[in-house]
Structures are given as structure tokens and as C-alpha cells.
């Protein structure tokens, strides 16, 4: 009898101890909704947990689904952080009141001002450069200069473009509107459409495949797609050209994050956000997708660095969100499908 009781006590003690151990190991946790896929985020979360003891739980989905979910959950959301690509999407989340303003000296120091929200609702964590890729057998790079110049008649039937339905070229045109105004930008977009060698294509990779196959000579893509394609087939006659180096600079966008307005673990979530901008996590964040670190003190991956350095457009990418609707309407008017 006594023996049995003792074993019960022991079992209870054991249970209590292991329960306690689990809970002290993860005294804090952060819940992340991420439009970046698992393989692009898990390495940093694991490193963060190892360094801080804070556990990270995450759900991945398309950005639209995550925004809808945050809206529907309202105050009851379990999410502390939203991670997504493109300033347009983060701007939309902020506008819908889903993110809180975060004042952090670490974030201000690690992230250049043009790559974070002026109201501090979201912060860039990696940089994606949208640039010109050309066929090395058909184009003399000294003939290339700017995005705007691709509207010139000398590129007639030589240009391929990705569809206007995807946010990437919407953001590019939005930033162009911020710089030149609507009338001037519409002239450029109309010129591009007049120069198309083929109907707009489904994605950046397909556009480059058309250029490589000689069906057009130039296109506009995010460099990580170029990196992926060249890794698969290094002999393709494709090269990168950095446009607008004597004026506005290369159009850049971000993937980034914000803390949800109804976060229950605000302190731990800010700690994670700061960690993601730090030296330790920046290469993990950028290199896995052949993007550029947002923190200018960190060198990109050697493969990416070999594409050369370039001047970025220093205008705040919040404009990509603010002018997105204007850009979409303009592209539609100009016949850009
Ligand atoms: Fe992409």
C-alpha cells in the first residue's frame, strides 16, 4: 500500500517536473503568420530559439489568406507577427489596422529609413532588386540605361514583360509615379506596351526563358529569379544590367514584417523582429532566397555579390503601397494586361 502510494507520488513528481521543464524552457513564445515559405524562415527561428529560449510557432499561407485571417480574428488572433513579401502587402496590412507601431533603436539602426514604414508599422528584412536582364548575344549593354528608356522605339518588338496582375510591376510603376507623376509614367508604360515582342508572361522566370530563347531581347525581373535560373543552366545567354544608376537608382522592394496590433507577446515579438535585422540572422534571411540583406553592414551571399553593386532608389517604398491602386489603373489604361 505504502509502496504503491510512493510510486504514485514519484510518478506525480516526475510528471510535474517534466511539465515544469517544458514550460520553463519556453517561458515565452512568439506566433508568426508568414507568407514566406517554411524553408525560408525556419533556419532563423531555430537560431533565435537557441539564442533566447523563446519559442517560435508559425503558420505559412498566401499573403491574402493571412490578411483575411488577421482581420477575421481581430482581438482574438494568436498571431504576434506578420511576415510577407512586398511593401504593397505590408502597407495594406498597416492600412487595415492590423499592425502596431514599434519604436526600436535597434530597428532604426539596422534598417535604412527608405526600407521601413515611416509610421513604424512594418520593417524590411531583405531587399529584392527589380532590374533589367538582357540577351548577351543580342544586346550591347551600352545601349541600356533606364527603365524609362525601354519605352523608346529602338526596343520595338524586343521587350518581354511579366503580367501586370502580379504586385512586382505594380510596385515598380507606383514608384515611377511617385517620381515622375502620372502623365509621364503613363507615357513610359504605353511605350513599353508598344515595344512588346509577345503578350505579357506569367512570371519572371518565363520572361527570362523567352529572352534566352531569342523571342525578345530584354525584360524586367527580380534578381533572385535570375540567380535560380542561372544556377540551373549557367550557360544561358543572360546578364543583369543595373538601370537608372545616373538618376533615381534601381527599383528595390522588400520582404519584411510587422507586429500585430493585438499581439499578446509584444516584447518577445519585438525581440524576434530585432533579431531578424541583426548580423546573425540577416544572411540567413537573405541568402536562402538569393536576396540582399536589408542591413547595409552585411555582405550578400558571394553568388549575389558577383552580380555587382548598384545604387538603390532611396525613395521610401511606402509609396509602392500608397500609389498601388493608381498604378493598377494606369497600367490598365495603357493596355498593360
Ligand atoms: Fe517572387
Output the DSSP codes for 99-168. B-----HHHHHHS-GGGB-TTSS-EEEEEEEEEEEEETTT--GGG---TGGGGSGGGTTTEE-B-TTSHH
pLDDT at 2: 44
Nearest 5 degrees, angle CA 246-CA 155-CA 198?
Answer: 125
Ligand 1 center to 100 CA (angstroms): 26
Cα of 53 to ligand 1 centre, how many Å? 32
Given the DSSP bridges, would you call strands 159-160 and 55-60 parallel, antiparallel or unpaired?
unpaired
- What's the rounded Cα separation, in Å, for the pair 25 and 22? 5
For residue 290, what is its C-alpha cell?
A: 538569393
Taking Cα atoms as reference points, which of 161, 117, 146, 162 lies closest to residue 254? 117
Ligand 1 centroid to residue 19 C-alpha, Å: 42
Contacts with 302 (C-beta within 8 Å, 6 or more apart), sequence order: none
CA of 220 to the centre of ligand 1 (A): 13
pLDDT at 27: 73
- 193: left (phi > 0), else alpha (psi -120 to 50), else beta? alpha
Residue 136, all three cell numbers: 548577351
**pLDDT for residue 21:** 41
The total of other beta-carbon atoms located within 10 Å of residue 134's CB is 23
User: What is the spatial distance between Cα 176 and Cα 86, in angstroms, rounded to a whole number?
Assistant: 16
Q: How much distance in Å is there from the Cα of 205 to the middle of ligand 1? A: 10
Measured in Å, residue 224 CA sits from the centre of ligand 1 at: 8
Residue 181 gets the label, from left (phi > 0), alpha (psi -120 to 50) or beta, of left
**Domains of the chain with CATH codes:** 30-127+253-299 (3.40.190.10), 129-251+317-333 (3.40.190.10)
Q: What pLDDT is recorded for position 26?
A: 64
> Residues in the chain with pLDDT < 50?
1-7, 9-24
Tell me, in angstroms, the distance from the centre of ligand 1 to residue 26's CA. 34
Q: Which residue in this structure is represented by grid cell 502510494?
A: 5
Instruction: Give Dmax over CA atoms of the chain in angstroms.
Output: 97
- CA 288 to ligand 1 centroid distance, Å: 13
Contact present, 162 and 220 (Cβ < 8 Å)? yes
Interval between CA 169 and ligand 1 midpoint (Å)? 11
Number of other CB atoms surrounding residue 77 within 10 Å: 20
Q: 170 C-alpha to center of ligand 1: Å? A: 13
Ligand 1 mean position to 54 CA, how many Å? 30
CA of 201 to the centre of ligand 1 (A): 14
Residue with cell string 498597416: 94
Ligand 1 midpoint to CA 216 (Å): 21
97: three-class secondary structure by DSSP: coil
At residue 79, φ and ψ (nearest 5 deg) are -75, 140
| 110 CA → ligand 1 middle, Å | 24
Distance CA 123, CA 41 (A): 16
Cell numbers linked to 139: 544586346
Rounded to the nearest angstrom, the distance between the alpha carbon of 85 and the centre of ligand 1 is 8
Q: What is the CA radius of gyration of the chain?
A: 23
pLDDT of residue 45: 97
Q: How far apart are CA 166 and CA 155, in angstroms?
A: 23
CA of 203 to the centre of ligand 1 (A): 9
Ligand 1 centroid – CA 69 distance (Å): 22
Q: Round to whole Å and give the CA distance between 283 and 279.
A: 7
131 exposed, middle or buried (CB, 10 Å; 0-12, 13-18, 19+)? buried
Amino acid at each position: 500500500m505504502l509502496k504503491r502510494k510512493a510510486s504514485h507520488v514519484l510518478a506525480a513528481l516526475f510528471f510535474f517536473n517534466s511539465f515544469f521543464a517544458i514550460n520553463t524552457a519556453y517561458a515565452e513564445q512568439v506566433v508568426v503568420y508568414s507568407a514566406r515559405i517554411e524553408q525560408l524562415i525556419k533556419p532563423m527561428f531555430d537560431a533565435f530559439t537557441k539564442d533566447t529560449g523563446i519559442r517560435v510557432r508559425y503558420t505559412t499561407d498566401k499573403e491574402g489568406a493571412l490578411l483575411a485571417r488577421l482581420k477575421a480574428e481581430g482581438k482574438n488572433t494568436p498571431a504576434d507577427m506578420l511576415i510577407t513579401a512586398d511593401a504593397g502587402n505590408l502597407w495594406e496590412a498597416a492600412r487595415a489596422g492590423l499592425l502596431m507601431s514599434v519604436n526600436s533603436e535597434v530597428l532604426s539602426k539596422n534598417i535604412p529609413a527608405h526600407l521601413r514604414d515611416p509610421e513604424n508599422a512594418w520593417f524590411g528584412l531583405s531587399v529584392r532588386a527589380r532590374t533589367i536582364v538582357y540577351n548577351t548575344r543580342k544586346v550591347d549593354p551600352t545601349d541600356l540605361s533606364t527603365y524609362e528608356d525601354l519605352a523608346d522605339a529602338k526596343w520595338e518588338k524586343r521587350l518581354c514583360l511579366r503580367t501586370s496582375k502580379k504586385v512586382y510591376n505594380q510596385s515598380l510603376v507606383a514608384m515611377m509615379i511617385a517620381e515622375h507623376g502620372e502623365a509621364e509614367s503613363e507615357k513610359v508604360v504605353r511605350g513599353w506596351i508598344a515595344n512588346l515582342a509577345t503578350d505579357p508572361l506569367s512570371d519572371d522566370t518565363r520572361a527570362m526563358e523567352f529572352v534566352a530563347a531569342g523571342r525578345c531581347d530584354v525584360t524586367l525581373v527580380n534578381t533572385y529569379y535570375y540567380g535560380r535560373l542561372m544556377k540551373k543552366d549557367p550557360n544561358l545567354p543572360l546578364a543583369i544590367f543595373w538601370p537608372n544608376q545616373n538618376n533615381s537608382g534601381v527599383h528595390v522592394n522588400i520582404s519584411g514584417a510587422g507586429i500585430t496590433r493585438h499581439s499578446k507577446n509584444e516584447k518577445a515579438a519585438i525581440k524576434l523582429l530585432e533579431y531578424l535585422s541583426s548580423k546573425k540572422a540577416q544572411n540567413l534571411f537573405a541568402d536562402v532566397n538569393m536576396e540582399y540583406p536589408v542591413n547595409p553592414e552585411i555582405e550578400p551571399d558571394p553568388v549575389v555579390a558577383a552580380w555587382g553593386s548598384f545604387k538603390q532608389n532611396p525613395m521610401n517604398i511606402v509609396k509602392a503601397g500608397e500609389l498601388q491602386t493608381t498604378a493598377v489603373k494606369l497600367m490598365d489604361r495603357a493596355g498593360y494586361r
